[in-house]
Amino acid sequence: MYAQHLWSPSQAMGKNVHVWTYGHAGRPVIALPTSGGYAHEWQQHGVIDGLHDLIAGGRIRIWQPETNVSETWNRLDASLAVRMRRHAAYEQFLTQELVPHIRQVTGRSDIVILGPSVGAMYAVNFAMKYPQLFSEAIGLSGRYEARTFTQGQDNTDVYYNNPLSYVWNLHGEPLWQIQRQTRITLVCGQGAHEKNCLKETLQLAHGLQQKQVPLALDVWGADVAHEWVWWRRQIRHHLNQRL
């Protein structure tokens, strides 16, 4: 499956970052994990096998980095300031190290960033903050209210990583850049464990529509649950549409 097990030294993170890659050509894709944060998560849950023809046929090339979600959004034993500093370090790794590497290796700038669950918040947030780096973000079953993960605590750093807060205040040049350089796709089911995700997906979709950001909203049926069996299908469907 063209899988390569890489350790990429990161100055921003101050440590090696675990990255798995799949493919040899095609549109570059950054695939983000859920709250486990593991770089091999998509392979473990059969997503890579489900994309075999797209990968082997040179239509997509995937990079899946681990996240430091255990140091940030999922961490309860550290101050909010410490947690947000670690999130900022990961943001720097992704935008200043991984993306330039992908552009250099592929010669392409039409990067898609996507992920399910908490990975959706990462993907959509980064695309909105850095539309010049990501031509599209796809969020599946996302939680877009960052204060959910900070037990209601808020500060400037949380605000600027909370799509459901800052979307309403976008204006001027930052909004212009988003409108012209990226596209957001929000996907969610209506089944088990999707209630809060669906609520936040619809809220964010409303905010993006109000700001005239290019948006696709894809709500699946009442049988579609917050599970990998559905995310595999949704990822396949939406990546195939973009090739």
DSSP per-residue string spanning 28-77: EEEE---TT--TTHHHHTTHHHHTHHHHHTTSEEEEEE---GGGTTT--S
62: left (phi over 0), alpha (psi -120 to 50) or beta: beta
| Predicted local distance difference test score (pLDDT) of residue 226 | 98
Domain ranges within the chain, ordered by starting residue: 4-241
The CA distance from 80 to 4, in Å, is 35
4-241 has which CATH code? 3.40.50.1820
Neighbours of 174 (CB within 10 A): 14
Instruction: Break the chain down into helix, strand, coil percent, rounded to 5.
Output: 45, 20, 35
The band of 243, judged by pLDDT with boundaries at 50, 70 and 90, is confident
The CA distance from 242 to 115, in Å, is 16
Tens of pLDDT along 105-155?
999 999 999 999 999 999 999 999 999 999 999 999 999 999 999 999 999
Residue 6: pLDDT over 90: no
Tens of pLDDT along 206-240?
999 999 999 999 999 999 999 999 999 999 999 99
DSSP-derived pairing of the beta strands 60-65 and 15-22: antiparallel
The pTM for the full model equals: 0.96
| Predicted local distance difference test score (pLDDT) of residue 2 | 65
